[in-house]
Amino acid sequence: MNADLHPDIVDVVATEEDIAEALERISAQVREDYDGTDLLLVGVLKGAVMVMADLSRRLGTHTQMDWMAVSSYGSGTKSSGVVRILKDLDTDLAGRHVLVVEDIIDSGITLSWLLKNLRSRGAASVEVATLLRKPAAAKVTVDVKYVGIEIPDKFVVGYGLDYAERYRTLPYVGVLAPHVYSDSATLA
């Protein structure tokens, strides 16, 4: 066991090196595919903050960024299926090439809803880049062009991902010890 591992983490599913390698691979592909075209990165708050920071710095100056905050109602460890906008984009998407930047696709419900919403705004193209995807947790099929790392269907935190707003600052992605979320009253 790694001595630096946070005591609430039972396993690491993506190390700092894994993350860097995945983002390098995605950014190389994005640079090739868009080849100098103006590209708008749309980050989904708050989880995508780390991915956005590290991916955008690997892309060129043709890249701009904007942010949305959405909520799939409720908290805890599962998506509920009902999505609402907490913060909308500042940018008009008409004619823009958009790349949605996500930290994780779990059930796919958030992203599926978001893609429909963004595509209805007249963008020239809308694609998705996600650092993590849980294939075994998919409830809806979403076409995702750039996937970093496929992970098991476990509750993970770190590198932007939280439980009750904690653990986002871990530099790796790890499986949260079940006792933490069965003991959630102590986190309030």
Give the residue, chosen from 79, 91, 117, 125, that forms a contact with ligand PRP under the rule CB under 6 A.
Answer: 79
Q: Kindly state the smallest distance separating residue 49's Cβ from ligand PRP, in Å.
A: 8
The CA–CA distances, whole Å, from 138 to 1, 58, 98, 112, 129 equal: 31, 29, 23, 11, 16
Strand partners, 126: 98
- Does 27 bind ligand PRP (CB under 6 A)? Our answer is no
- Quick check: helix, strand or coil at residue 78? coil
Residue closer to ligand PRP (CB basis): 12 or 101: 101
Give the residue, chosen from 107, 146, 172, 180, that forms a contact with ligand PRP under the rule CB under 6 A.
Answer: 107
Of the listed pieces 7-15, 35-43, 90-98, 108-116, which binds ligand PRP according to CB under 6 A?
A: 108-116
Distance, in Å, from the CA atom of 10 to the CA atom of 113, rounded to the nearest integer, reads 32
Q: DSSP letter for 168, please.
A: T
Distance, in Å, from the CA atom of 182 to the CA atom of 188, rounded to the nearest integer, reads 13
Q: What are the tokens at 179?
A: 């006792």
Residue closer to ligand PRP (CB basis): 37 or 80: 80
Exactly one of 11, 90, 103, 106 is catalytic; which is it?
106
Active site residue 106: yes
The pattern of x and - marking residues 41 through 60 that bind ligand PRP according to CB under 6 A reads ---xxxx-------------
Concatenated DSSP letters of 96-132: -EEEEEEEEESSSHHHHHHHHHHHTTT-SEEEEEEEE
Give the residue, chosen from 43, 108, 148, 158, that forms a contact with ligand PRP under the rule CB under 6 A.
Answer: 108
Q: Between helices 49-56 and 16-34, what is the axis angle to 10°?
A: 60
Q: Kindly state the smallest distance separating residue 152's Cβ from ligand PRP, in Å.
A: 15
Task: List interacting residues with ligand PRP (CB under 6 A).
Answer: 44-47, 71-72, 79, 102-111, 162
